[in-house]
């Protein structure tokens, strides 16, 4: 096969992979880089000729995989977009939100190219979406040749899939973002367990070694205990989360905890997109028993939307739990403004539940120490760090050792390293050596041939 990574900066970001196998050319995912905006945030689509893709596959609806799909599909008008049923529901809401965000950024950041796509592009994209059943091979044909696409449950977030490609010559597996362990609201991956020729594996957690004493359930217990202590001393809890997946999971965790009095009943505030997605999760869970979610959780918690006009640095409107995006405190997001109002008070706490890139405000905060001044650059505002800052390991990605063990089971001839920072990929390149495969850590925008 031929392999081309169109994510111009490497690492994790604007994910988009182009492959050629058995006479077909296809792309997997087309994301937006969460740290950039405008043209800088999209994959280098122009590296491939317009209308040259036979099909496109979406692995899941996080924006680093989905955010520029309307652009890619606009450039490849005949390519059907293959995806799982939950993704077909979630993609609509995520992309329409993405247009609103880009319209706002147009003025805030003075980027004239924004929005990068409009409602019309979404209509075209939705028309070309084809929902595939999981573990049911789907055959595409062209010039007397055929290729088979099979999606497998990948855990991670509702609708996430690994992708198996089969031609008469070879079998390829793309793990996508994958989590083998189950979560409160979502079952773990049901991965392919047959030999493959080429494996494209995610490498997100290459640098994080799992401390055996910190398993998922014990992390949840510790997070709730920290919240209980904070609320009992009159403080508020800020939990920065991804709006898609992590927020719904945390809603269920908090609701259960309040019901068994593990934490006191206080107001719970959520950001808008996450609350909207609650309805979509509810709909999806009616059609699959792998997702356990009911929108009643919002009523049970008395969850309310975050007040609209929040002033940076001003005390939170009332004591409570603030479950708001973004997960990494990216500038101008609800969690960023809430952090600016909560950081200076030592009764409060900020509890991170996922990975924070070191260059984001969340990453910088995790790197700082108590008492230091912390600058909220876009507000030109400084707060001393007095709130308690903690991080819990509730990642949506498989542990690195689990991924190595998985690669071993598939005994591939070639392994491409994907979706990971340079150092994380290095760890995998080393750890995968005993398998004896040809390990490729692809440079962006270069073709590789196996």
Identify which of residues 236 and 326 has a Cβ nearer to Zn ion in the complex. Answer: 326
Identify which of residues 70 and 396 has a Cβ nearer to Zn ion in the complex. Answer: 396
- Residue 156 CB, shortest distance to Zn ion, in Å, is 6
- Residue 15 CB, shortest distance to Zn ion, in Å, is 6
Strands, DSSP E only, in 248-376? 268-270, 304-305, 321-324, 349-352, 373-376
In the three-class reduction of DSSP (H, G, I as helix; E, B as strand; rest coil), residue 342 is classed as: helix
- Residue 244 CB, shortest distance to Zn ion, in Å, is 8
By Cβ distance, which residue is nearest to Zn ion?
A: 62
Question: Distance between CA atoms of 33 and 8, rounded to whole angstroms?
Answer: 10
Identify which of residues 64 and 421 has a Cβ nearer to Zn ion in the complex. Answer: 64
Asked whether the beta carbons of 390 and 170 are under 8 A apart, the reply is: no
Identify which of residues 177 and 421 has a Cβ nearer to Zn ion in the complex. Answer: 177
- Residue 114 CB, shortest distance to Zn ion, in Å, is 23
Identify which of residues 65 and 166 has a Cβ nearer to Zn ion in the complex. Answer: 65
Identify which of residues 24 and 355 has a Cβ nearer to Zn ion in the complex. Answer: 355
Give the binding site for Zn ion (CB under 5 A). Answer: 62, 64, 177
Residue 229 zone, left/alpha/beta (φ > 0; ψ -120 to 50; rest) = alpha
What is the signed CA dihedral for 182, 183, 186, 190, rounded to 10 degrees? Answer: -20
Question: How many Cβ atoms from other residues are within 10 Å of residue 252's Cβ?
Answer: 18
Question: Distance between CA atoms of 241 and 323, rounded to whole angstroms?
Answer: 7
Of residues 415, 389, 301, 327, the one with CA closest to residue 64: 327
- Residue 31 CB, shortest distance to Zn ion, in Å, is 7
Burial class (CB in 10 A: 0-12, 13-18, 19+), 261: exposed
Token look-up 């008469």 returns 168
Identify which of residues 92 and 347 has a Cβ nearer to Zn ion in the complex. Answer: 92
Question: Distance between CA atoms of 316 and 314, rounded to whole angstroms?
Answer: 6
- Residue 375 CB, shortest distance to Zn ion, in Å, is 28
- Residue 144 CB, shortest distance to Zn ion, in Å, is 36
């Amino acid at each position: 096969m031929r392999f081309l990574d169109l994510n111009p900066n490497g690492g994790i970001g604007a994910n988009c992979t182009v492959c050629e196998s058995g006479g077909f050319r296809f792309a997997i995912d087309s994301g937006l880089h969460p740290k950039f905006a405008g043209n800088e945030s999209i994959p280098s689509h122009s590296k491939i000729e317009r209308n040259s893709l036979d099909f496109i596959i979406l692995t899941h609806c996080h924006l680093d995989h989905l955010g520029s799909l309307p652009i890619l599909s606009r450039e490849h008008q005949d390519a059907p977009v293959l995806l799982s049923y939950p993704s077909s529901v979630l993609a609509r809401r995520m992309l329409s939100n993405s247009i609103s965000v880009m319209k706002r950024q147009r003025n805030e950041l003075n980027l004239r190219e924004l929005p990068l796509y409009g409602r019309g592009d979404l209509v075209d994209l939705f028309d070309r979406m084809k929902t595939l059943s999981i573990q049911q091979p789907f055959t595409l044909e062209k010039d007397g040749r055929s290729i088979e696409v099979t999606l497998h449950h990948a855990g991670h977030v509702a609708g996430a899939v690994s992708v198996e490609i089969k031609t008469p010559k070879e079998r390829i597996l793309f793990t996508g973002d994958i989590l083998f362990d189950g979560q409160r609201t979502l079952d773990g991956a049901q991965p392919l367990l047959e030999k493959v020729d080429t494996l494209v594996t995610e490498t997100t957690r290459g640098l994080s070694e799992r401390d055996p004493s910190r398993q998922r359930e014990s992390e949840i217990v510790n997070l709730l205990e920290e919240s209980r202590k904070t609320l009992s001393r009159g403080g508020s809890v800020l939990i920065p989360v991804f709006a898609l997946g992590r927020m719904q999971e945390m809603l269920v965790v908090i609701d259960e905890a309040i019901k068994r009095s593990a934490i006191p009943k206080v107001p719970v505030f959520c950001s808008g997109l996450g609350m909207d997605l609650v309805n979509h999760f509810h709909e999806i869970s009616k059609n699959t028993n792998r997702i356990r979610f009911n929108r009643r959780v919002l009523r049970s918690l008395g969850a309310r939307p975050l007040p609209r006009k929040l002033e940076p640095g001003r005390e939170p409107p009332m004591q409570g739990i603030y479950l708001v995006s973004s997960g990494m405190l990216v500038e101008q997001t609800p969690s960023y403004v809430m952090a600016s109002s909560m950081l200076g008070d030592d009764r409060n706490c900020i509890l991170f539940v996922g990975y924070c890139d070191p260059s984001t405000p969340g990453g910088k905060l995790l790197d700082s120490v108590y008492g230091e001044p912390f600058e909220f650059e876009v507000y030109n505002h400084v707060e001393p760090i007095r709130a308690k800052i903690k991080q819990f390991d509730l990642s949506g990605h498989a542990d690195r050792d689990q991924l190595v063990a998985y690669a071993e089971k598939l005994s591939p001839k070639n392994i491409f390293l994907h979706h990971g920072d340079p150092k994380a990929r290095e760890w995998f390149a080393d750890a995968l050596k005993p398998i004896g495969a040809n390990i490729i850590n692809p440079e962006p925008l270069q073709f590789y041939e196996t």
